[in-house]
């Protein structure tokens, strides 16, 4: 085979390679575009999720604050009920004693004076 023929054969082969490579280039370019668009979408959704998580974090802080306030208020109220019931029990006993003329009602009231005072009664 002379040099010219060899060059022609080589050129043909090269042109075929060129065509295949161009197709591969197009395919790769399209694929890259698809992946990049998909990635952009995912990033957008991710950003929204991060915002949702941030909002939830703020909401959790508010809820925790409300929970703690309520627990404290319940604790304070619960602390009052014991002395109030003690005071009420003493007043009821004193009532029963006074209603039958039992002078020990005075002592009964004295026994719960501290509890009654602690709850402002």
- State both tokens at 48: 């929204």
- Which of the residues 47 through 76 are near another protein (CB under 8 A)? 49-50, 52-53, 56-57, 59-60, 63-64, 66-68, 70-71, 73-74
Q: How many residues does the chain have?
A: 121
Asked if residues 91 and 112 have their Cβ atoms less than 8 Å apart, the reply is: yes
- Residue 110 sits in the site that holds another protein (CB under 8 A): no
- State both tokens at 1: 């085979």
Among 95, 110, 113, 114, binds another protein (CB under 8 A): 95
CA end-to-end span of the chain, whole Å? 122
- Residue 107 sits in the site that holds another protein (CB under 8 A): no
* Minimal distance, residue 111 CB to another protein, in Å: 11
Among 25, 110, 113, 117, binds another protein (CB under 8 A): 25
Asked if residues 17 and 9 have their Cβ atoms less than 8 Å apart, the reply is: no
Among 42, 110, 113, 114, binds another protein (CB under 8 A): 42
């Amino acid at each position: 085979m002379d040099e010219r023929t060899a060059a022609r054969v080589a050129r043909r082969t090269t042109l075929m390679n060129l065509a295949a490579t161009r197709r591969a280039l197009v395919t790769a370019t399209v694929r890259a575009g698809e992946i990049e668009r998909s990635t952009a979408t995912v990033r957008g959704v991710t950003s929204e999720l991060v915002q949702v998580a941030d909002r939830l974090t703020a909401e959790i802080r508010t809820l925790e604050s409300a929970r703690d306030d309520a627990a404290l208020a319940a604790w304070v109220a619960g602390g009052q009920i014991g002395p109030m019931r003690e005071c009420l029990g003493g007043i009821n006993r004193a009532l029963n004693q006074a209603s039958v003329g039992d002078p020990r009602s005075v002592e009964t009231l004295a026994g719960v004076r501290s509890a009654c005072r602690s709850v402002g009664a």
